[in-house]
Amino acid sequence: MKKFIHIDMDCFYAAVEMRDNPKLACVPLAIGGNSRRGVLSTANYIAREYGVRSAMSNYHAKQLCPDLVIVPGRMAVYKEASNQIREVFSRYTDLVEPLSLDEAYLDVTDSTACKGSATLIAQQIRADIYNATGLTASAGIAPIKFIAKIASDEKKPNGQFVVLPHEIDDFLAQLPLGKIPGVGKVTLEKLNLKGLYTGKDVREKGVNWMQQHVGNFGVSLYQKCAGEYVGKVSTDRIRKSLSVEHTYEYNKTSLQECLDELPRLLDELVLRLNKQQLRNRINKLSVKVKFANFVVTSADQVYHELNTEIFVQLLTKAYQRGLQQPVRLLGIGVGIKNEPEQNFQLSILD
Ligand code: TTP
Ligand code: MG
């Protein structure tokens, strides 16, 4: 039996703006898109009570909610938060499939954290995300991939919902077809016209009927509704690097303050390398520095084991490029060389 977790941040862009500007925390808020047509990227939960939604025009939204505050988006900040949540995921499993900046599927079937309880892992991931970013996430947990995604919407915001193996059958039977990923508005209308509204309706028609009347899409829809389609988290499993990083609550204002952080980062890196048995496959050491103005710089050196002195040199070099700018994030990492068997296979394929 597989264990999937789907994580999705709550009103992501808006939550970042509320975090960074307390004046926005308690007002109906939307993020203006960058498109010419002027549609919203998202809205906070206060604005949603007035019916304001993603992809709605600014004009329409203002009609629904005259007090709506619309601010422009800050993509660089959203990307940073996105990197932070992906770093959290990597603490629990390598099997991560990001779907967008704010959501990802995780396969935790073989994870040993929390004694293997996917429910507890999801809980802990959400707590870690909050500690790292100050933002809340919701989670869905299920033995079937697409059900985990549907489940992550059930207890939004800041909640989680689990569908246990013995509950799958009932869950699918009552499931409105429009909730299934890939069933959009137009498809749903067509299905409704054929009398299909829920998973139960599809199952009762049977796979042959679905093939005849809906085509190949109908077959895959049938498999989903019948619980026959478990799904697989697809990821690039050949690791090329491993790194740890930390965004500081207060910027570091001197080289010495940055160097003082090295031992902690190094401890964390050692832990992660040992856990994944990668210690003997190091081929490069690297350091990353993000300055207060969000400019990122990195420095690396070819080397085949961890070495504190080299990290000190790399950090000094990277720090100096900032010309005394305060530092908001530090990271250290290693390059990983492929295992010999992999090289062999690649050369056959060539
Ligand atoms: P979503 O996860 O769909 O929405 P959300 O995180 O804002 O809200 P929810 O709590 O319901 O998950 O999308 C994530 C981000 O992607 C969202 O904050 C802004 C951006 N986005 C757009 O720019 N345009 C869109 O049409 C949508 C749906 C999202
Ligand atoms: Mg979201």
- If you count DSSP H runs as helices and E runs as strands, how many of each does the chain have, helices first? 14, 12
Q: Write out pLDDT tens, residues 269-304.
A: 999 898 888 899 999 999 999 999 888 899 999 999
By mean pLDDT, which of 10-14, 38-42, 79-83, 115-119 is the weakest? 38-42
Q: Tell me the average pLDDT of the chain.
A: 92
Name which residue sits closest to atom 8 of ligand 1, judged by CA: 11
Residue positions counted in the chain: 350
Neighbours of ion ligand 2 (CB under 5 A): 8-9, 12, 102
Q: Which residue do the tokens 């499931």 mark?
A: 175
Contact 151, 161 (CB under 8 A): yes
- C-beta 11 within 6 A of ligand 1: yes
Query: Percent of the chain at pLDDT above 90?
Result: 84
Per-residue pLDDT, 338: 78
Model confidence at 334, in pLDDT bands (50, 70, 90)?
Answer: very high
**Region 99-103: what's the mean pLDDT?**
94
Q: How many angstroms separate the alpha carbon of residue 226 from the centre of ligand 1?
A: 30
Q: Is the CB of 17 under 6 A from ligand 1?
A: no
- Reported CATH class of domain 241-336: alpha beta
Q: For residue 35, name the pLDDT band (cuts at 50, 70, 90).
A: low
The atom number, within ligand 1, closest to the CA of 102 reads 14
What is the residue-wise DSSP string for 158-213?
S-EEE--GGGHHHHHHH-BGGGSTT--HHHHHHHHHTT--BHHHHHHH-HHHHHHH
Of 87, 103, 154, 245, catalytic: 103
pLDDT recorded at residue 238: 67
241-336 shares the fold of 1-163: no
Q: Which residue intervals of 206-281 are DSSP H helices?
A: 207-214, 216-225, 255-275
Could you give the 3-state DSSP secondary structure of residue 215? coil
Question: Is the backbone peptide bond immediately before 143 cis, with ω within 30 degrees of 0?
Answer: no
Look up tokens 């042959």; give the residue: 208
Q: Which ligand is nearest to the CA of 41?
A: 1
Residue 60 exposed, middle or buried by CB count within 10 Å (0-12, 13-18, 19+)? middle
Q: What is the CATH architecture assignment of 166-225? A: Orthogonal Bundle (1.10)
CA 330 to chain centre: 21
Q: Determine contact, residues 318/299, Cβ cutoff 8 Å.
A: yes
pLDDT at 344: 42
Q: Which atom of ligand 1 is nearest to the CA of 45?
A: 10
Q: Hey, where are the domains in the chain? A: 1-163, 166-225, 241-336
CA-nearest residue for atom 29, ligand 1, is 41
Residue to mutate (ligand 1; options 7, 41, 75, 77; most atoms within 8 A of CB): 41
In short, whether 157's Cβ falls inside 6 Å of ligand 1 is yes
Q: Is 126 in the pocket of ligand 1 (CB under 6 A)?
A: no
Q: Which CA distances in Å does 229 have to 67, 177, 222, 240, 243?
A: 46, 15, 9, 31, 34
Are 253 and 291 in contact, with CB atoms under 8 Å apart?
no
Does the beta carbon of 156 sit less than 6 angstroms from any atom of ligand 1? yes
pLDDT digits (tens, 9 = 90+) for 153-210: 999 999 999 999 999 999 999 999 999 998 989 899 999 999 999 999 999 999 999 9
In the predicted model, what is the mean pLDDT of residues 77-94? 94
Burial of 63 (0-12, 13-18, 19+ CB in 10 A): middle
pLDDT at residue number 36: 56
For residue 333, report the distance from its CA to the centre of ligand 2, in Å. Answer: 29
Rounded Cα gap, residues 312 and 329, in angstroms: 16
Does residue 42 line the site of ligand 1, with CB under 6 A? Answer: yes
103 is catalytic: yes
- The residues pairing with 39 across neighbouring beta strands, listed in sequence order, are 57
Which of 4, 67, 2 shows the shortest CA–CA distance to 30?
67
Q: In this structure, are residues 330 and 261 in contact, taking their beta carbons and an 8 Å threshold?
A: yes
Q: Which ligand is nearest to the CA of 12?
A: 1
In this structure, the strands spanning 282-291 and 327-336 are: antiparallel
Ligand 1 touching residue 111 (CB < 6 A)? no
Mean pLDDT of all residues in 43-63: 95
Q: Cβ distance 328 to 292 under 8 Å?
A: yes
- Alpha-carbon distances of 46 from 14, 73, 135, 170, 329, rounded to whole Å: 11, 18, 16, 33, 32
Residue 339: the pLDDT is 66
Domain spanning 1-163 has what CATH number? 3.30.70.270
